């Protein structure tokens, strides 16, 4: 089984029961968002398939004054399948970046815009570093510490590269009067 939305659902449930909403939040915005691209629309179908395959179970829990919620739990077979999937050869990391596409065309753009985008990216990397440092400050398991430290190293390296080479990219851009007009 490749690392997919199914894998992320099983990973989250491996650590304990969760609602579909909680799984969605963890896999799109939370700590699991860093591992596999899991869109909102893919999570509920994946959970339904996992339930059909008896890899997870679901129970309905009533709530006072709110709609009932469906709580998922991993089965023994789901645990076995999840751990088994970790033995599969890993795919390559998927780095896609709108910023890098933008940077590739810096020579066609005004220097002020290139400078602005670099500053925005620097702000984003600082924010990500802070977020990872906040997670890292918590008492976490050794494997989680390793993963957080890896992420911090990558983000700090990206930040240092941007700081150290920002002027190079800006210099490639066109002076304001020679820049291509946006249409």
Query: Tens of pLDDT along 100-150?
Result: 999 999 999 999 999 999 999 999 999 999 989 988 888 888 998 999 999
Query: Please, which pLDDT band fits residue 1 given cuts at 50, 70 and 90?
Result: very low
Rounded to whole angstroms, the Cα distance separating 3 from 82 reads 10
Residue 183 scores a pLDDT above 50: no
Mean pLDDT is lowest, of 46-50, 53-57, 89-93, 179-183, for 179-183
Does the domain at 5-85 match CATH 2.20.25.160? Answer given as no
CA angle 20, 25, 30 (to 5 degrees): 140
State the DSSP code for 110.
Answer: B
Query: Please, which pLDDT band fits residue 178 given cuts at 50, 70 and 90?
Result: low
- C-beta neighbour count of 22 within 10 angstroms: 17
Position 95 scores a pLDDT of: 77
How far are the Cα atoms of 9, 62, 75, 131 from residue 47, in angstroms, in the given order?
Answer: 7, 20, 13, 29
Specify whether the CB–CB gap between 59 and 71 falls below 8 A.
yes
**pTM of this prediction?**
0.77
Position 177 scores a pLDDT of: 67
pLDDT tens, residue by residue, 71-99: 999 999 999 999 999 999 888 877 788 99
What is the average pLDDT score of the chain? Answer: 90
What residues pair up with 73 in beta bridges, in sequence order? 57
Segment 56-82 mean pLDDT: 94
């Amino acid at each position: 089984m490749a690392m997919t939305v199914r894998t992320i659902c099983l990973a989250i449930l491996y650590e304990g029961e969760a609602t579909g909403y909680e799984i969605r939040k963890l896999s799109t915005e939370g700590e699991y968002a860093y591992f596999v691209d899991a869109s909102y629309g893919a999570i509920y179908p994946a959970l339904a398939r996992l339930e059909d395959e008896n890899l997870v179970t679901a129970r309905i829990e009533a709530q006072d004054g709110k709609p009932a919620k469906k709580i998922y739990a991993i089965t023994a077979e789901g645990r076995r399948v999840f751990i088994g999937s970790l033995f599969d050869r890993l795919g390559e990391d998927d780095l896609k970046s709108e910023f890098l596409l933008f940077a590739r065309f810096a020579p066609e753009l005004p220097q002020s815009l290139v400078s602005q985008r670099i500053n925005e990216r620097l702000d984003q990397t600082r924010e990500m570093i802070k977020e990872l440092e906040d997670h890292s400050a918590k008492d976490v398991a050794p494997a989680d510490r390793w993963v957080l430290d890896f992420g911090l190293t990558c983000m700090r390296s990206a930040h240092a590269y941007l700081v150290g080479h920002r002027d190079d990219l800006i210099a490639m851009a066109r002076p304001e009067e020679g820049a291509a007009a946006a249409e």
